[in-house]
Copies of this chain bind each other. A is one copy, B any other.
Amino acid sequence: MGNIFGKIFSITTFGESHGVAIGVTINGCPAGIPIDMAFIQSELSRRKPGQSKITTQRKEEDEVEILSGVFEGLSTGTPIGLLIRNKDQKSKDYSHIAEKFRPSHADYTYHEKYGVRDYRGGGRSSARETAARVAAGAVAKLMLKEFGISFHAYVSQVGTLKLEKSYEQLDLSKTEDNAVRCPDPEMAQQMFDYIDDVRKSQDTVGGVVTGVIKGVPVGLGEPVFDKLHAELGKAMLSINAVKGFEYGSGFEGIKMKGSAHNDAFYVEDGTVKTKTNLSGGIQGGISNGQDIYFNVAFKPVATIMQDQASIDTQGNEVTVSGKGRHDPCVVPRAVPIVEAMAALVIADFYLIARTNKLRG
């Protein structure tokens, strides 16, 4: 269970960090989408390790191979199989953690749940699994681009360094200009230096990724349980290290009065708009045509380069030593993952919305 996401446009993923390969099958992708493999590969490169000194120096080429579902450059409506071989998995020695439970990792819970556990590099619980999501999300983006829908995520907070500007006050086209993926160059530099300090102290720190979706038509999202923001929230919370999700006014909105929080409707050039957008583009769980925006909170990753007290599978007290190559802060590399998951949610709701009326 738990390896399928989506109802119509759905993905099934597989693969462990240090197994043979990871991959994804996209089921329900409509026929006729131009599948730009270079774009899919470029999305994977945004996620891959080793992009700068503030991301892990692990080498993963993340070369994607397409196995099915595309013919003469177009999706055919049949499942799209995507495969990424693990190239760096072999020789390493994992005996030092085979019997130990690393603090705040999934070692203990997997061990108890399944009895059997692929302990190499975190196995299935490794963030390596998200490469499959990024590949699939790239296909969703290609589909939605045809309808003018676009995705823009960026880093808005690292530790206590918080960008106090809203997404509308930023030039989001600058996000990819720096290693932190913060569109404000000054803040980006501060964040970079801070992450580098954290890295040098062999520690980690958390952060926030803000997501913005533009061009979503009115009517996506389903009432009651499958509200657009509920699926979006689930999608984000399913990403490794995520601890919180808010959209529109979010946790800040709590403090407001209804009279200030309500978004007044008006008509401009024949289009319904709202004067404010504290709803975050979603009302009653359904998109209202305004920008959708949300925040995703990432904890400081659990893998630190320091010794920590823990227990082993026999319950004995042991020391877990930091080893290997890890990210001091995950948010820069999380940006394409957040976009990918958002694209998967919107693609699914886009197709479902075609079934809402008698004449679709």
Interface string of A6-25 (1 = CB under 8 A from B): 01111011111001111101
Contact A1 to B226, CB < 8 A, known contacts A118-B78, A258-B301: yes
Q: Is A190 at the interface (CB under 8 A from chain B)?
A: no
Q: Is A108 at the interface (CB under 8 A from chain B)?
A: yes
Please indicate the chain B residues that have their CB under 8 angstroms from the CB of A222 in the complex. 1-3
Q: Is A171 at the interface (CB under 8 A from chain B)?
A: no
CA distance A353 to B360 in the complex (A): 11
Q: Is A215 at the interface (CB under 8 A from chain B)?
A: no
Identity of the chain B residue whose Cβ is nearest the Cβ of A226 in the assembled complex: B2
Contact partner, A206, options B10, B254, B286, B315, Cβ 8 Å? B254
Q: Is A264 at the interface (CB under 8 A from chain B)?
A: yes
CA distance A204 to B106 in the complex (A): 42
Q: Is A287 at the interface (CB under 8 A from chain B)?
A: yes
Please indicate the chain B residues that have their CB under 8 angstroms from the CB of A338 in the complex. none
CA distance A255 to B33 in the complex (A): 42
Please indicate the chain B residues that have their CB under 8 angstroms from the CB of A223 in the complex. 2-3, 78, 106, 110, 124-125
Q: Is A309 at the interface (CB under 8 A from chain B)?
A: yes
**Is B109 a contact partner of A219 (Cβ separation < 8 A)?**
yes
**Is B357 a contact partner of A117 (Cβ separation < 8 A)?**
no
**Is A15 a contact partner of B117 (Cβ separation < 8 A)?**
no
**Is A32 a contact partner of B76 (Cβ separation < 8 A)?**
no
Stretch at the interface among A39-47, A48-56, A79-87, A178-186: A79-87
Contact A238 to B249, CB < 8 A, known contacts A113-B218, A258-B304, A284-B110: no
Please indicate the chain B residues that have their CB under 8 angstroms from the CB of A117 in the complex. 71, 76
Contact partner, A249, options B68, B159, B243, B267, Cβ 8 Å? B243
**Is B354 a contact partner of A259 (Cβ separation < 8 A)?**
no
A257 to chain B, nearest CB (A): 5
Interface string of A296-329 (1 = CB under 8 A from B): 0111111110101111000101000000000000
A164 to chain B, nearest CB (A): 15
Q: Is A38 at the interface (CB under 8 A from chain B)?
A: no
Contact A357 to B32, CB < 8 A, known contacts A238-B225, A238-B285, A254-B206: yes
Q: Which of A209-236 contact B (CB under 8 A)?
A: 218-219, 221-227, 229-231, 233-235
Q: Which of A120-164 contact B (CB under 8 A)?
A: 123-125, 129, 143, 146, 157, 159-160
